Every structure is written in C-alpha cells, then in structure tokens.
Amino acid sequence: MDIFLQQLVNGLVLGSIYALVALGYTMVYGILELINFAHGEVTMIGAMVALSVIGVLMGAAPDLPGVMVVLAGILVAIPACMALAFGIEKIAYRPLRKAPRLAPLITAIGVSIILQNLAMLIWGRQYVSFPPLLPTIRFEFLGAHISLLQIAIVVLAVTIMAGLWLLVEKSRLGRAMRATAQSKEVAQLMGVNVDRVISATFIIGAAIAAIAGVMVSAYYGLAHYYMGFMLGLKAFSAAVLGGIGNIAGAMLGGLLLGVIEALGAGYIGDITGGFLGSHYQDVFAFFVLILVLVFRPSGLLGERVANRA
Amino acid sequence: MLDSLRRRPRLAFALLAVLLAALPFIMGFGLGNSWVRVLDFVLLYVLLAIGLNIVVGYAGLLDLGYIAFYALGAYVYAWLASPHFGLHLPFWAVLPIGAAVAGLFGVLLGAPTLRLRGDYLAIVTLGFGEIIRIFMNNLNAPFNLTNGPQGMNLIDPVSVAGLSFGKSLHLFGMKLPPTYLYYYLFLAFTLLAILVAFRLQDSRIGRAWAAIREDEVAAAAMGINTRNMKLLAFAMGATFGGLAGGLFAAFQGFISPESFTLWESILVLCMIVLGGMGNIPGVILGAVLLTMIPEALRYIGDLQRATLGHIVVDPSDLRMLLFGVALVAMMLFRPAGLLPSRQRKREFAAEDGVAEQEQASLYDAKA
Amino acid sequence: MSVLLSVDQVTKRFGGLAALEDVSLTVEAGEIYGLIGPNGAGKTTLFNCMTGLYTVTSGAVRLAGAEVQALKPHQIVKRGFARTFQNIRLFANMSALENVMVGRHPRTHATVLGAVLRCRKTRAEEAGIREHAHELLRYVGLGGKSRGLASHLSYGDQRRLEIARALATEPKLLALDEPVAGMNPNERQQMGELFRKLREGGVTLLLIEHDVKLVMGLCDRVAVLDYGRKIAEGPAEEVRRDPAVIAAYLGGEA
C-alpha cells in the first residue's frame, strides 16, 4: 500500500510537469493543427539556460539564498524560451502555413535536431547537475514521502494552469485565440490579428515550457541536451490522451500519464512475473498513446473527431 | 555529351553498368579501401531510402520509426544465423524471414493507426521505433534474447554456393576483400529495389497511392480502398527495411541497439526530403550525398587540426546540426528536393507551371 | 422501369442537429433525377449519406435492391454508384489523363506482383486503362487536354474532368453535385447536352442543382428538400406548381 501511495505521489508530481509541457503542444495544435516537434527542445533549452544562470550567480554571489538563485534562473529562462519560440514560429513554420501538411512537420523535426545539437555544442554531451540549492525537507504522509520540492512543483504547476485557464477563458487574447482555433479566416474577418495570436500562442507555451524545464531538472537533479526529446514525446502523448487541442485535456492527460507511468514502473515487475522491469518506464507513454489513438482518437476530453471524413 | 547519351539509351545503360561494376575498384585504388566500405553503406542506405520513399513519397504517410523495421530485419537475421541460439540458417532463408517479420510488424502497427490523420501516424511510428529500441536494449534478462546494449556478434556472413562473403576471394590473381563482394551483393538488391519501385510507381497501385496523397476523400470516391492501400504502402516499406536490416547484420557481423536510434530514421527521411520526395533518382542522390558527406566531414577535423592545432568542433557533432539545417532549409527554399519528381514539383510550385502545361497541350495537339 | 436507387426514411443528425429528417425517394433506371432546394437544405448531406462518406443515423439506402448504407465509399463505387463533388476535388497535381486513369482503379485488378513483374496481363490492362481514359476525355470534350495538369484546367473543364473521372469507374448511377455551378449560360447549355448524351449511353443521373431552369428542362423527375425534409417529389412540371415548393424555394425567384 505504501508503495502504491508513494508511486501515486511521484506520478502526480511528474504528471504535473508533463501537463505543463503538454499545454504547449495542445495550444499550438489547437490553433495550427501542427505538432510542434521542437517544443520538447524548447523545454530543454529552458532548463539549460536556467542552469547556466544559476551557475554564474553561484559564482558571483555565493551568499544569495538558494531559492532566489533558482528563481533568477527561471526568470532568465522564460524570456529566452519565449524569444526562441517566437523565432522558430516566424522562421520555420509561418512561411509554410499554406504548404502541404508534411512540410511544416518536417521543418519541425529539423528545428528539433538543430536545437538539440546546438545545445550539445554549447553545454556539452555530459549531464549538467542541478546544484543542491533547494531545501531538502521531506514530509511523511501515510507511509509515503513527499519533499518540499515536490509540493512546490505541484503548487506552481496548478497555479500556472489556473492562470492559463483564466487567460484563455476571460481575456481578450484568450478570446482571440479561441476564435482563431475555430477558424482562422473568420477570426481574421472579425478583426483578429491572426499572426499575432499565433505568435502569442507559441510564446505562452514556451514560457510555461521554460518553467517545466527547470522543474524537471530540479526534480531529477540534472539536465542534458537530450532530455527534451523523451519529455516532449511524453507530453505529446499526454496531450493526445487528454484530447489534443483541449487545454483542460492536456492537464488531465499529463497528470494521468504521470500516474500511469509511475504505477506501471512500480508494478510491472510483479505483473509480468519479473520478465519486464522498471527500465521499461519509458514504454508506457507510447502504449498509452497507441491505445488512445486506436480506441478513442479524440482523447478523454476531446470533442473533435480525429478521423477525417 | 549528355545529350548524345540521351539519344542512345542503350549505350548510356552499358556505360552505367561498366561504371557501377568498376566503382569499388576506382574508389579502392583512388581513395583507399575504407571508401569501398562507405560505398557498401551508400547502397544500404539507398535501399532503405527507396523503401521509405514508398511510404512517404508515394503514399504521403510520414513514418518516423522506419529504422525499427531495419532493426527487426537485423535482429531476426542475428537470431537465425549466429552462435547466439546456435542457429546457422542460410542467408537466402533468413533474409526473406526477416523481411516478412518486418512487414508483419508494419501491418500490425499500421492497421490501427492508418485510419487516423497523417501527423498522428508520425508520432505513433516514432513511438514504435523507440519501443523497439528499448526492448532490444533490455531483453537480455531474464531471458537473453538480444544481449542488451552489448549487442550480438559473430553473425554469419552471407554465403552463396560455398562462397563465403566473409573472406577475401582470390580471382584471376586478384584479391577481392569482403567489402568488394558485399558491394556487388548490395548492388544487386538495390537495383532490384529500384526496379520494383519504378514499376510500382507506374502502375494502378502507384496511381492509387498518388491519389490518396493528393486527396483521400476523392480517392475513396474513385473506388480506392484507401485503408488497404495505405497499409500496403506501409507494409512494403517495412519489408524493404527488414531486408536492408538483414543485409546490414550479415555485412557487419555485429549489431547493437545503438545502430537503430531515432536519428537513423531521421537520416533516411532527410535523404528523401533532400533528394526529392517520390522521385527515385532524387532519393538515390539524397542517400549518396548524406552517406558521403559525414565521411567528407572528417576532413574538417583534419583541417582544424592542421590549421588550429586542435579540434575545436568535433565534425561528428556538426553532422546532425547540418542535417537539421538542411531539413529546414530544404522545406523553406526547395521543398520538392534537389531532384524533384514531376508531380511534387507541380505540387509545391503550382504557380509557375503554366508555361509547362501550355507546352504540354501543344504537344498533345500534335500527337 | 426499375428502381435503381431508393432512399428509405433516411435521417442524419450531427450531434443534436438533424440535417436530414425522414427523407425517402426513388430513382429509376435511365432517368435524370434532380434534387433541388435552398442552401443548407441537406442536399449534399444526402449525397454524402448515399455514397458512404457519412453514416446515416437511421434509414436505409438501397442500390439495385441491396442495402448500401453501411458500406464504405469504395465499396459503393464498386457497385456502380459514382459521384462528383460540389467543391471540385480533382487530384490537382496529376495530369487530366492520370486523373481519369485513377478512376479505372475499381475495374482493374493488377496486384503488386503483377505490377512488379509487368506480365503480359498487366501490360494489356495498363494499355486498356490508358485507352479507356483517353476515350473518356474525348467523350466529355477534353480530348486535347489530356497532358495538362488538372489544376491548370479552366473551371468548366475541371467539372468535365471530374465527370470523366467518375465515368471511368463505370457507374450505372452517377451523382453530380452542382455540376454547372459558376458556369455561363453557354457552358451550361453544353453541360446539359453532355448529360443527355450520358443518359442515352445508359447512365442514370442524379443531380443537385441550383439552376431551376436547367433542372426543369433536363430532369424527368425532381425532389425538393427544405430544412432536411422532402417537401415535394414528382415530374418537373408538377413540382414547379406545387405551392409548398413555391413558398419554400421558387417563391423567392418566381
């Protein structure tokens, strides 16, 4: 039972990070019907930039409290990722908005490769470790351990999701985004600057991704030029699970996928009689993805039918 | 010169045949025997690219896990012809089995996903590629199926009528190392694949694929069973991949999961995109270029060492970066590839095709 | 005359919205049957239900007596029911000839093996496809335009090409969705002649049309849809005088 609870806690923490990254996929897909392959890499860049800033600050101002240093890292990473996403959309996606479907998908893969390899050239092939700046207080709760960092991740993630929900549902920009997702042409006729809305969508997704990137590296204690790939794939799977294009769906899908993965990794050994072990953790996301696409392509909360008439 | 050859296709054909036959010797003497090995890989990649082109170029389905089928072919070969299980079946039996297994997996993966939109297929195939790799990495315990990250070695070389491709052949006083022998074997398979691809393209089946790529609903309204045709393209591509994988295993004598990463899938995709989707000469060009360029890039390392005294940027680090830039740049500036197919050219540049069409109708009026 | 197509109490709902409500009609072999109605009356929806693009919510569609409403589009084509689209859906980047050649798909048989080996049977079939396609292009009046790209044809020619492509599937029943939309009177006249020629050739025609004059002059019988319901059916002259029809549709123009 305590294993179950522990894995549930771990899954929810990880899942809230997946949910944040999934939001970026789902928002872009909702508006452009484009799988923004490079989104995982934007998350990675966020983590790397933050770690660089943290490294510099630790050298320059060793007396600064750890939380402040990390916060500074996040605050630099956010605009960096926003600028990056803005540039990616403008250079690699916008010119291809009317091209055959395959074209933007291929440039998305290209951008992803570029970012990954640039990161490798800048930060090297080695794992970059996240310095022990944050308090390591742990609480015990019905036999499961939960750290202050885990609580902080979940609280921050929930806050961001609530903020995004307010933005999309209540603000002018949110209304413009929803209108653009329905029909770019009509939105344009109604006076919405579609290009700006699309840029804004990318930028908002990237800002959230930057935070998620720092969360992931803080949680695992390391970052790596390759980390965005798997994270991105899982987040995309989460978005599909929840119903791609649907913001609440991305949140639900992320949490659910995190829990599935954690419980799956915890119990797969027992289920298969020791044949498969916890190193198959990464496989679950794909099985979930394939199963969802086969049995409910519109996802849990999606109304749109993925199948073309 | 080219023009006179065009008027005499037979002569051109004969010249090409002589050139292809002599190529390993030219490369071997001119640049060194390591280049013959490169040549072998060029042919393997041409084979892979032609297979993927059926899926991506003909039917318009983006398959990002193509290398998984290559891996399946290679592992099946290794299981059936290596000391791992003590099986040593002949290559003419193993190769078709590997190709068939890959094709079967293609159907199993494609059947549920091909009714979905194209970009979902891209993600599902990508996931499938990763799943296969993760399994190959971990299936060494509790039952040692794949030998995990260490991979499997001592795989039997191809052997035909008592002639083992693993040893040098002495012929008319010449010594032909294995890389030469495999060159001719791969060449035979590649030429066969090219023939198959050409004939399919120019058939009822190829037209059905093109129609699906253009407009799936209209294709269905023309009586085309779109799901089955897509599945056929997908399975055929997978079969080609499995075949190439088997050849790869026999050639290397050693395989490990490291050879089958996502980036290999992307590399093959790059070949098609760079050369010209759907156009076989373009695909061949793409495969040749992208296999040779990394080899040539090694010289950048030497150049750095000579001029700067040490290596600043590892050329192998640059390779993927350049591929990424190439993918984006090609899509933005020359989306139909270096050697575009007739059809793709029109597709991407519908505007400036009017002159061509006028010419065509003039021709028609004469005919 | 025998009944070729019968639509029996077909209802189609999208979510809660009923696009078709209890629609029934019969098309007899050899006639030209018109389907008219104001915009949004459900004409194209009915076409899509008949040709397998939509699944009906309830009701049945029978082709030569056999139920087809559960079949896939390609199976319905194979049974001899072809169609064109309101917003022309040609294979834009293929030549006119290739477009029509695609239409031969359900009537030809070459398999992968046949195509690869290019045996005598396949070669003969391929030559037949090409020949047949050329013939159809001439038939619809595109004889000199076979090599041109479909997307480069004029609007009227694209409509003709779409008909040729549909004819290549050898339909007994051909459904045309607004085949003369956007054409000038002269072109409409020519299309009308093509339709009569088709009928003489043994093809039953079902057309959706806005141009009431054309429909009245051409069609043997007409059905009128309004808000997803059939409000009239019968010989053109009778329907024209039907008060319900005048109120719903002709009233605006007459």
For the stretch C45-55, pLDDT in tens is 999 999 999 98
Q: If you count residue pairs, one on A and one on B, with CB atoms under 8 Å apart, how many are there?
A: 134
Q: Over the stretch A47-78, which tens digit does the pLDDT of each residue have? A: 999 999 999 998 888 888 888 899 999 999 99
- Considering the domain architecture, whether residues B3 and B140 belong to the same structural domain is answered as no
- Considering the domain architecture, whether residues B22 and B37 belong to the same structural domain is answered as no
Q: Over the stretch B178-199, which tens digit does the pLDDT of each residue have? A: 888 889 999 999 999 999 999 9
Q: Over the stretch A226-274, which tens digit does the pLDDT of each residue have? A: 899 889 989 998 998 888 888 889 999 999 999 998 888 877 777 776 6
Q: Which of residues A89 and B112 earns the better pLDDT score?
A: A89
Predicted local confidence at residue A2, as pLDDT = 67
- Angstroms from C53 CA to nearest CA on chain A: 7
> What are the helix and strand counts (H, E) for chain C?
11, 10
- In which domain, by residue range, is B313 found? 33-366
Check if the beta carbon of residue A142 is closer than 8 Å to that of residue A5. Answer: yes
Residue with tokens 């002589």: B18
Q: What are phi and psi of C10, to 5 degrees?
A: -80, 130
Continuous H helices in chain B: 2-7, 9-31, 34-53, 66-80, 91-113, 118-138, 178-201, 204-214, 216-221, 226-252, 262-275, 280-308, 315-333, 342-348, 354-366
Q: Which of B56, B113, B213, B321 has the highest number of chain A CBs within 10 A, making it the mutation to test binding with A?
A: B321
Structure tokens at A110: 């290209």
Average pLDDT in the A114-131 region?
Answer: 90
pLDDT band at A203 (very low <50, low <70, confident <90, very high): very high
Q: How far apart are CA B92 and CA B78, in angstroms?
A: 14
What residues of chain C lie within 8 A of the CB of A98, using their CB? none
pLDDT band at A112 (very low <50, low <70, confident <90, very high): very high
- Identify the chains in contact with C, defined as 3+ C-beta pairs within 8 A: A, B
* Strand locations in chain A (E): 128-129, 138-141, 144-147, 222-223
- Considering the domain architecture, whether residues B25 and B84 belong to the same structural domain is answered as no
Does B220 reach chain C within 8 Å, measured CB to CB?
A: yes
Element (H, E) at C147: none
Continuous H helices in chain C: 43-50, 73-78, 96-103, 112-117, 120-140, 155-167, 185-200, 212-218, 236-241, 243-245, 251-253
What are the strands of the beta sheet with C66-67, ordered from one edge? Answer: C17-28, C3-14, C58-63, C66-67
Check if the beta carbon of residue B176 is closer than 8 Å to that of residue B169. Answer: yes
How far apart are the two ends of chain C, measured CA to CA in Å? Answer: 33
**How many independent structural domains does chain B possess?**
2
Predicted local confidence at residue B122, as pLDDT = 82
Smallest CA–CA distance from C54 into chain A, residue: A309
Interchain pair B138, A279: CB under 8 A: yes
- Angstroms from B68 CA to nearest CA on chain C: 24
**How many independent structural domains does chain A possess?**
1
- Angstroms from B341 CA to nearest CA on chain A: 15
Predicted local confidence at residue C240, as pLDDT = 81
Check if the beta carbon of residue A7 is closer than 8 Å to that of residue A190. Answer: no
Check if the beta carbon of residue C6 is closer than 8 Å to that of residue C62. Answer: yes
pLDDT band at C249 (very low <50, low <70, confident <90, very high): low
CA distances from B365 to B272, B359, B360, C128 (A): 36, 10, 9, 22
Check if the beta carbon of residue B220 is closer than 8 Å to that of residue C81. Answer: no
Domain of B177: which CATH number? 1.10.3470
A307, part of any domain: no
Q: Which of B224, B225, B353 lies nearest to residue C149, judging by beta carbons? A: B353
Structure tokens at B225: 């069973």
Q: Over the stretch B276-306, which tens digit does the pLDDT of each residue have? A: 888 899 999 999 988 888 777 777 777 777 7
Domain of A218: which CATH number? 1.10.3470
Q: How far apart are CA B285 and CA B288, in angstroms?
A: 5
* Strand locations in A72-122 (E): none
| ipTM of this complex | 0.91
Flag whether pLDDT at A1 surpasses 70.
no
Flag whether pLDDT at B206 surpasses 90.
yes
- Considering the domain architecture, whether residues B159 and B13 belong to the same structural domain is answered as no
CA distances from C37 to B85, C31, C207, C223, C248 (A): 73, 19, 12, 8, 8
Flag whether pLDDT at A160 surpasses 60.
yes
Check if the beta carbon of residue A57 is closer than 8 Å to that of residue A69. Answer: yes
Predicted local confidence at residue C253, as pLDDT = 47
- Considering the domain architecture, whether residues B209 and B320 belong to the same structural domain is answered as yes
Q: How far apart are CA A113 and CA A107, in angstroms?
A: 10
Continuous H helices in B309-353: 315-333, 342-348
Pairing of strands C66-67, C81-83: unpaired
Interchain pair C147, B204: CB under 8 A: no
CA distances from A171 to A25, A175, A245, B271, B364 (A): 21, 6, 18, 46, 60
Q: What are phi and psi of C206, to 5 degrees?
A: -125, 115
Predicted local confidence at residue B363, as pLDDT = 35
Q: Which of A290, A292, A294, A304 has the highest number of chain B CBs within 10 A, making it the mutation to test binding with B?
A: A290
- Considering the domain architecture, whether residues B27 and B52 belong to the same structural domain is answered as no
Q: Is the peptide bond before B157 cis (omega within 30 degrees of 0)?
A: no
Q: Which of A88, A17, A20, A78 is nearest to A50 (CA)?
A: A78
Flag whether pLDDT at C16 surpasses 80.
no
Among the ranges given (B154-158, B363-367, C56-60), the one the predictor scored with the smallest mean pLDDT: B363-367
A304, part of any domain: no
Predicted local confidence at residue B345, as pLDDT = 56
- Angstroms from B90 CA to nearest CA on chain C: 25
Q: Over the stretch B65-115, which tens digit does the pLDDT of each residue have? A: 899 999 999 999 999 988 888 788 888 889 999 999 999 999 988 887 777
Check if the beta carbon of residue B237 is closer than 8 Å to that of residue C149. Answer: no
Smallest CA–CA distance from A308 into chain C, residue: C53
pLDDT more than 70, % of chain B: 90
Structure tokens at A13: 């923490």
Flag whether pLDDT at B210 surpasses 50.
yes
- Considering the domain architecture, whether residues B28 and B44 belong to the same structural domain is answered as no
Q: Which of B141, B137, B164, B132 is nearest to B251 (CA)?
A: B164
- Considering the domain architecture, whether residues B331 and B188 belong to the same structural domain is answered as yes
pLDDT band at B355 (very low <50, low <70, confident <90, very high): very low
Domains contained in chain C, CATH given: 3-80+171-253 (3.40.50.300), 96-168 (no CATH)
Pairing of strands C173-177, C204-208: parallel
- Angstroms from B152 CA to nearest CA on chain C: 35
- Considering the domain architecture, whether residues B243 and B274 belong to the same structural domain is answered as yes
Among the ranges given (A9-23, B68-82, C198-212), the one the predictor scored with the smallest mean pLDDT: C198-212
Q: Tell me the three state secondary structure of residue C40.
A: coil
CA distances from A180 to A155, A198, B97 (A): 31, 8, 51
Check if the beta carbon of residue B362 is closer than 8 Å to that of residue A113. Answer: no
Interchain pair A294, B113: CB under 8 A: yes
Interchain pair B205, C118: CB under 8 A: no
Q: How far is CA A155 from the centre of its chain?
A: 16
Interchain pair B323, A233: CB under 8 A: no
Q: For residue A218, count CB atoms less than 10 angstroms from its CB and return exposed for 0-12, middle for 13-18, buried for 19 or more.
A: buried
Predicted local confidence at residue A49, as pLDDT = 95
Q: Which of A24, A26, A53, A62 is nearest to A217 (CA)?
A: A53
Q: If you count residue pairs, one on B and one on C, with CB atoms under 8 Å apart, how many are there?
A: 131
- In which domain, by residue range, is A148 found? 2-295
Average pLDDT in the C49-76 region?
Answer: 92
A309, part of any domain: no
pLDDT more than 70, % of chain C: 97
Q: How far apart are CA B67 and CA B241, in angstroms?
A: 7
Interchain pair B331, A110: CB under 8 A: yes
